Amino acid sequence: MPEPALEVARPSVRFDDVSLAYGEGPPVLSDLSFELEPGSFHFLTGASGAGKTTLLKLIHMSLAPSAGAIQLFGRDTARLSREEIPPLRRRIGMVFHDRRLLDHLNAFENVALPLRLAGRKVASYRADVMELLGWVGLAEKVDAYPLALSGGEQQRLAIARAVVGQPELLIADEPTGDVDHEMAVRILRLFVELNRLGATVLIATHDRDLVARSGKPVFNLAGGALTRQAA
């Protein structure tokens, strides 16, 4: 559970002069500084290879910056011990571009995974998971395994898994890339609803229609630098 007494006024995410280069290569991200206020909703746009996925991985602590400092919920990620990272990750919902579903678990089990890892009993979340699967149009695929699902269905499953724990911060990498327009709108409504409940949302996307329809502010990544565009 969050510790709001100390962190309520702090940004969910804060980058201070963050740079990242893979190995000896040129920097993918250069001196990024920005904040995501609690309860804010942003899109992240940029051409392919601009570094959107890299930026999301930095937020999710899958990568460490080459330079600069990242704060999550007021905690400096560089100062976190290995034991402190999992509890922080459980406050984040992440939709991966490559979905990262577990093939040996069925749809219900994949969605319930974060709750299971948090130590909750199935009886306490069965209804919530079923409702969420219905919301993303997979009510009839509860027992289906990922390999039996289409790309779009897998993507919706990954989205359901990311939001099932009602995370404080939701980051999504091209969450509507493989779904039709109607489902994309539906998924956006899900994100907006989560945001309305207090979650900070950052969505990396190429879908200009989705961005335009939402009316939310946009960060644009180009040449390793981040620019902010108003809603």
Binding site for other proteins (CB under 8 A): 60, 62-63, 82-83, 86-87, 89-90, 94, 96, 100-102, 104-106, 108-109, 112-114, 116-118, 122, 126, 142-143, 161
User: Which long-range contacts (C-beta less than 8 Å, at least 24 apart) are formed by 207-216?
Assistant: 207/176, 207/177, 208/45, 209/181, 210/43, 210/176, 210/184, 210/185, 211/43, 211/45, 213/185, 213/188, 214/41, 214/43, 214/188, 216/41, 216/42, 216/43
Question: Of 100 and 213, which CB lies nearer to other proteins in the complex structure?
Answer: 100
Question: Of 91 and 185, which CB lies nearer to other proteins in the complex structure?
Answer: 91
CA 155 to chain centroid: 13
Max alpha carbon distance in the chain (Å)?
50
Question: Of 3 and 182, which CB lies nearer to other proteins in the complex structure?
Answer: 3
Q: How far apart are CA 7 and CA 35, in angstroms?
A: 14
Question: Of 104 and 189, which CB lies nearer to other proteins in the complex structure?
Answer: 104
Structure-token pair, residue 11: 């940004």
Question: Of 86 and 151, which CB lies nearer to other proteins in the complex structure?
Answer: 86
Please state the closest distance from residue 74 (CB atom) to other proteins, in A: 18
